[in-house]
Amino acid sequence: MNFRFLILLITITFAYDKVKAESQTEKSITLEDETLIQDIKFSEAFLEAPVIYITLTKLSMAGQKYGFEIDITDVNTKGFKLIYRKYINDPITLQVQWLAIFDPRVEVAYYTSFKQQLIVPVYEDNFAYSIIGLQGSSSQVGIQVEKIDNGNAYLQVTNSVKMIKLCIISGSKHALYPKFIPFSVSNNHPWLKEQKGKAFINFSYDLNVNQPILIGGITEFLFKSQSIKIQLQNLKYDDKVLAEIGTWNDAQLVQAQVSILAYIIDEDLIISDKNCVELFEQCYFQGKSTKICKEGDAQSLEKEFKFRSFIVPRYKQFELANNKDVQQLMGIESCVDEIILK
């Protein structure tokens, strides 16, 4: 669809916030009642409400029957609410880590499925996920990515799982560096012989970036015992990503997978010039770009400009007209159908 620039309506003259992020690991909580609500406050307020990526880093239950769910509500510039729910009689111990991001290169979504196959949209095939809700009864829980096709990831869930809830983050390869770490323990590994004490395995991998914000989550586990206990801890970056995953007491973990996400904050990326619309050739604000600051700027382009993402300053509106058809662009859009400006 071809459009020409018509008019930019200006109602106020200040810009979006710079890219901003904050991460924290919450203390372990044990659910005795059906519902527990936590109020989370950011250390500094965001100018715009961020998206929240949440991961499960600890799960402890007395048996193989599980039923829990973690939810996020009331997200605003100052914080949000964490809601824990359990659907079984026995207590459940959970620990979560969260990452709050104001960055148009990143999307976060929550999916609940009662089927064995889950189809979710992902951007740039660049994503990570964590289990934040389960119902079922088995010593094995797992998710496999079968394929990625036309912007959708096809995930296969273990047959014994009756309900699964995932938090999925996806975005630009310039912002997110996800990695899934699967491993197994042989029968003669000292870990399997460990009883009544902590047993953790250390692992590491190289990540060639500068000072990332790290967040990890549990995506798969297999136990030999009747109790389910798994924890991802001591996640840090020092030339390499370092982490520990394991169990304690008499729970014998023999197979697991975790997702580790490195988020790179671009402190130089200012979300929009205060008076100009910014148009980008590619999704997630990549590729060549052009600015439209006043009526007539579009007509001065040497040739047509195709764009897939855009940033319109706060409280402003960008109108594109083609004959009698008018399309209004507002806010931030990280990936849209191609629009041609000429």
- DSSP per-residue letters across 64-120: SEEEEEEEEE---SSEEEEEEEE-SSS-EEEEEEEEEEE-TTEEEEEEEESSSEEEE
Q: How many CB atoms lie within 10 A of CB 29?
A: 16
List Cα–Cα distances, 15 to 89, 196, 278, 293, in angstroms: 51, 57, 12, 13
| Cα 127–Cα 123–Cα 43 angle in degrees, nearest 5 | 60
Query: Residue 211 has what pLDDT?
Result: 84
Which residue in the block uniquely carries the two structure tokens 């009747």?
226
Query: Residue 180 has what pLDDT?
Result: 93
Query: Residue 2 has what pLDDT?
Result: 46
- Partnered with residue 184 across adjacent β-strands are 255
Count of residues making up the chain? 342
Per-residue pLDDT tens over the stretch 180-195: 999 888 878 888 777 6
List Cα–Cα distances, 191 to 136, 194, 197, 216, 249, in angstroms: 26, 5, 10, 22, 11
85-98: b or e for each residue (b if 16 or more CB lie within 10 Å)?
Answer: bbebeeebebbbbb
Query: Residue 1 has what pLDDT?
Result: 46
List Cα–Cα distances, 246 to 97, 181, 202, 238, 258, in angstroms: 17, 13, 9, 21, 11
Q: Please identify every stretch of the chain with a pLDDT value under 70, giving residue numbers as ranges.
A: 1-17, 195-196, 267-274, 295-302, 314-315, 322-324
Do 241 and 254 meet the contact criterion of CB atoms below 8 Å apart?
A: no
Domains parsed from the chain with CATH numbers: 2-15+270-341 (2.60.20), 20-263 (2.60.40.2080)
**Cα 57 from Cα 95, distance rounded (Å):** 5
Order of all β-strands in the sheet with 253-263: 140-141, 213-223, 253-263, 176-184
Query: Residue 12 has what pLDDT?
Result: 38
The β-bridge relationship of strands 316-322 and 277-282 is unpaired
